[in-house]
Amino acid sequence: MIWRSAAEVHWDTVKQCLYSPKPREWSYYQWFCHIVDIVKDEYGCELLVTNGTKWSNVPDQLRNEIQ
């Protein structure tokens, strides 16, 4: 239901993941932070990167920024 917050964050029902639009003014890192903030503000849930986090198609530089 996060798409209802009008924050440009969307849910992919096939991949079962949140995603942002392609970067325009914000970088992927800024979008990641935005998604984490929206989930916390809207739903009271804290998204965490753990050793069990699965990374798919994320460049090393971006992964390092997020971690």
- Domain locations in the chain as residue ranges: 2-66
**SS3 state at 58:** coil
pLDDT at residue 30 tops 90? yes
Which tokens in the block code for residue 44? 């009271």
Q: Whose structure tokens read 């009271």? A: 44
Mean pLDDT of the chain: 85
Q: Is 62 exposed, middle or buried (0-12, 13-18, 19+ CB in 10 A)?
A: middle
Residue 31 Cα distances to 7, 16, 26, angstroms: 10, 18, 7
Average pLDDT in the 5-9 region?
Answer: 69
Q: pTM of the predicted model, to two decimals?
A: 0.76
Instruction: Give the residue among 67, 64, 62 at the shortest CA–CA distance from 26.
Output: 62
Q: Any idea which architecture 2-66 has in CATH? A: Up-down Bundle (1.20)
